Structure 1
Amino acid sequence: MKFSLVCFVLIILPNVLAAQTLKVATFNASMEANNYASLGMQPSIEVLPKVLSTGDNPQVKNIAEIIQRVNPDIILLNEFDYIEDKSKGVNAFVKNYLQVSQSGQAPVDYPYTFIAPVNTGFATPFDLDNNGKFEQYGSDAMGFGFYYGQYAMVLLSKYPIDTENVRTFQHFKWRDMPSHLKTSYPDGRPWYDEDEWNALRLSSKSHWDVPIEVNGHTVHILAMHPTPPSFDGEEDRNGKKNADEIRFMADYLTPEKGAYIYDDNEELASLEPQTRFVLVGDFNAADIGDKYREGVIEQLTESPLVNNSVIPMSKGGAEAFEEVYSDRYTAYWGARADYVLPSTYGFEVKASGVFWPHKDSDLYRLVEDRNASSDHRLVWVSLMLADN
């Protein structure tokens, strides 16, 4: 009996411990077609499947090595083109790069993945940038992109995804957000005509709520990639859209504010009180510095439901810029743009970081320039599941 009890404890204890901690990451890996010009292919949705089919692209191998070194349990990859056939897209990345040792690192497996359609490169008949040309793509697409699915995103998980309860918000109309920011010419005329405004979707890519089952606990991964607040004019259409895309997620996680939100099944949807969630993605919203826009990221970071008390940092970011706060930067162009923000409910933050090795490190080769991996850095947070 004593031997059986000891065996029972030895067998069960690792699972109990595993249930307590969770490492969540986000990484704008910049795996869209423009990165692979050396293949001699025109940028299109056909390029990334070609890259992923071989397992020998140096840039993608470095991206895989970074992921292997950090080894998150759940990771969102931004700017991973939308490839509907997973065997040629995200699953090929897992099989040919992540499950293969990179520079001696242990392979990592993600048996659960999620993808969904996005608005980037979704052609419209409108002149949304008002340059006098109806170009369908680029700035005239529903979300900026030169081909459908460019700059999309994928979610990889070691834990099961509750696919039946996933909510996506690709089709939510900007007009349906109460008190949305209005885009106008300097003289006050509306930037968008009536047909454009009635058709325009809020999300430049999509917004996702992906529930993941972590040893008996449900964790909602709230993923997004708002448009950069730039590449426009005095009307500030992208800046206003960025702010409202972030507000959308802030409203969604706040029960009394999200009553207007409907998902892609046209059902009203918002988070219930006392829900564990983690916000992830490239939010294109700095919290300090010359790229900071007042009141935008605070919609999340100052929410009482969001834990921003521990800011991921790196030595590489600290040495790359003169600003005293650059250790929090997540992009080589100088800003905290990428976030992993857990709920205050149900988690304790145990550790965090930005994968940005300093120049004297042997690992600096993974981030030394734009072509080494990405112009963004992987951001991670280790969490302990707690009952509070």
Structure 2
Amino acid sequence: MNIKLIVAAVASMCVTCTLVNNAKAAGNIRVATFNVSMDATNYTAQGESVNPNALVNALKSDHQQIKNIAEIIQRVRPDILLLNEFDYVNKSQGIDYFIQNYLKVSQNKQPAINYPYTYIGPVNTGVASEFDFDNDGKKTGKLGDAYGFGFFPGHYGMAVLSRYPIDFDKVRSLQKFKYKDMPDAQMPIDPETKQDWYNNDEWQAMRLSSKSFWDLPIDVKGKTVHLLASHPTPPVFDGEEDRNGKRNHDEVRLVKDYIENASYLYDDKGVKGGLKSNSRFVIVGDLNAAPEGDKKRPNTTNQLLANPLINSQFVPVSKGAATSYTDKYAAAYTAHWQARVDYVLPSTYGLSVQDGGVFWPTKNSELYRLIKDRNASSDHRMVWLDILVK
């Protein structure tokens, strides 16, 4: 990360502080990613069992956290938006209901916003396996033994909202791509036995994506922009074997290999390969990997941030984070737990970054109420870029 870039950006934050209330420059599209914490556990009291319908029930209850999420979206007004941690539930009760009853309704006097094109799809979180993936001696079929950590199928899902048409016939998903099929994948080693963490049967069945990986072709004024969406597993909640850290690395590597059109890849329909050269793309998502600071995983993030196919020179920042923490990397943080983990990364080909930022109001701002804690909205902040499609 270029610290001079961050310092320069923070110095000009007086512009960014008001920009979210203004229209973007003519000809640009605004692309954003936002981990919204709209998953069932966020609406479940401590000690209660997790209800797969918790999000549906919260949406119907005029929930203040959801209203705050909607207000943030109305203030930033992205044209294309990835939502992480939005449970995969019935479309009419989930994403469509959210748009109709929250986004298309003014929140705190903000102009309503509509997204005529949406995409949701199945994810690996909570999908039962027959294996003991976490090696605790139990085959529970959920949580650490599911194909992705979750309480039920669709937990911690993803959703894409767009004001531009999505070419649904050409959407690609790599949800079921097998981990074993990635060359030189990082197999964790059991620190006690010194053997592979996963036995042969487990390794043959293991899926790489903890949620999924999507390629959504979007028609932006006659030019195709591929939205590459994912949400790799956090590189924590494991042990010395670092199985989640290694999986996180390889989930990010999947994104890298996809934009490099690696021949070993295949999607859920059996179509092989990745993205063709000279394609416009924007990588979005909570990648759960930081380039700097206490939680840094540079070997993971550099797969993208140092990739010549990606324009990573513009680092979105906020005055809110810069003034909340003393760390020299704080301006670029995207989560309250002090890390840059949420990304909007455009291709060097065919796209040009014009502006961007992180929605993180300062503590003396009237808007601080929207992000003061996780109950207000989320432990993550929305990250956005204004991009010129050339």
Distance of 2:243 and 2:177 partners within structure 1: 17
- The 5 Å alignment of 1:91-110 reads 91-110=96-115
Distance of 2:201 and 2:91 partners within structure 1: 35
- 1:74 corresponds in structure 2 to 80
Unpaired runs of 5+ residues, structure 1, are 1-16
Deviations 1:360-380 (A, max 9, x none): 100000001110000000000
Distance of 1:94 and 1:105 partners within structure 2: 14
Determine which of 32, 45, 59 is the counterpart of 2:52.
45
- 2:43 corresponds in structure 1 to 36
- 1:11 corresponds in structure 2 to none
Distance of 1:237 and 1:102 partners within structure 2: 42
Distance of 1:140 and 1:44 partners within structure 2: 19
Distance of 2:345 and 2:232 partners within structure 1: 16
Deviations 1:306-350 (A, max 9, x none): 000100000111112110210100000000010000000111111
Deviations 1:251-291 (A, max 9, x none): 00013xx1100000011031111100000000000010010
- 1:134 corresponds in structure 2 to 139
Q: Is the contact made by 1:19 and 1:215 (CA closer than 8 Å) also made in structure 2? A: no
Q: Is the contact made by 2:290 and 2:298 (CA closer than 8 Å) also made in structure 1? A: no
Distance 1:147 1:289, change over 3 A: same
Determine which of 202, 206, 223 is the counterpart of 2:208.
202
| Root mean square deviation, CA, Å | 1.5
Distance of 2:60 and 2:256 partners within structure 1: 38
- The 5 Å alignment of 1:170-189 reads 170-186=175-191, 187-189=193-195
- 1:120 corresponds in structure 2 to 125
- 1:163 corresponds in structure 2 to 168
Distance of 2:156 and 2:143 partners within structure 1: 12
- 2:313 corresponds in structure 1 to 309
Determine which of 260, 283, 287 is the counterpart of 2:291.
287
Structure 1 residue 42, shift from structure 2 partner: 3.8
Q: Is the contact made by 2:88 and 2:121 (CA closer than 8 Å) also made in structure 1? A: yes
Determine which of 7, 10, 27 is the counterpart of 1:20.
27
Q: TM-score w.r.t. structure 1 length?
A: 0.92
Return the letter of the residue paired with 1:144.
F
Distance of 2:173 and 2:243 partners within structure 1: 23
- The 5 Å alignment of 1:321-340 reads 321-340=325-344
Distance 1:53 1:163, change over 3 A: same
Distance of 1:40 and 1:231 partners within structure 2: 20
Distance 1:248 1:123, change over 3 A: same
Q: Is the contact made by 2:355 and 2:385 (CA closer than 8 Å) also made in structure 1? A: yes
Return the letter of the residue paired with 2:52.
I
Determine which of 265, 269, 294 is the counterpart of 2:269.
265
Q: TM-score w.r.t. structure 2 length?
A: 0.92
- Determine which structure has more spread, i.e. the larger CA radius of gyration: 1
- The 5 Å alignment of 1:221-236 reads 221-236=227-242
Structure 1 residue 39, shift from structure 2 partner: 12
Return the letter of the residue paired with 2:233.
T
Return the letter of the residue paired with 1:22.
I
What percent identity do the matched residue pairs reach?
A: 55
How many positions carry a matched residue from both structures? 366
Matched, 1:146 2:151: yes
Q: Is the contact made by 1:82 and 1:149 (CA closer than 8 Å) also made in structure 2? A: yes
Q: Is the contact made by 2:88 and 2:157 (CA closer than 8 Å) also made in structure 1? A: yes
- 1:369 corresponds in structure 2 to 373
Instruction: Tell me which stretches of 4 or more aligned residues in structure 1 moved more than 6 Å.
Output: none
Q: Is the contact made by 1:352 and 1:382 (CA closer than 8 Å) also made in structure 2? A: yes
Unpaired runs of 5+ residues, structure 2, are 1-23
Return the letter of the residue paired with 1:58.
Q
Return the letter of the residue paired with 1:50.
N
Deviations 1:143-188 (A, max 9, x none): 0001111101000000110000000000000000011111111242
Deviations 1:44-74 (A, max 9, x none): 22111112234x1000000000000000000
Deviates more, 1:207-216 or 1:265-274: 265-274
Distance 1:41 1:217, change over 3 A: farther
Structure 1 residue 38, shift from structure 2 partner: 5.7
Return the letter of the residue paired with 1:126.
F
Distance of 2:283 and 2:329 partners within structure 1: 22
Distance of 2:224 and 2:317 partners within structure 1: 28
Q: Is the contact made by 1:62 and 1:373 (CA closer than 8 Å) also made in structure 2? A: yes
Structure 1 residue 239, shift from structure 2 partner: 0.3
- 2:358 corresponds in structure 1 to 354
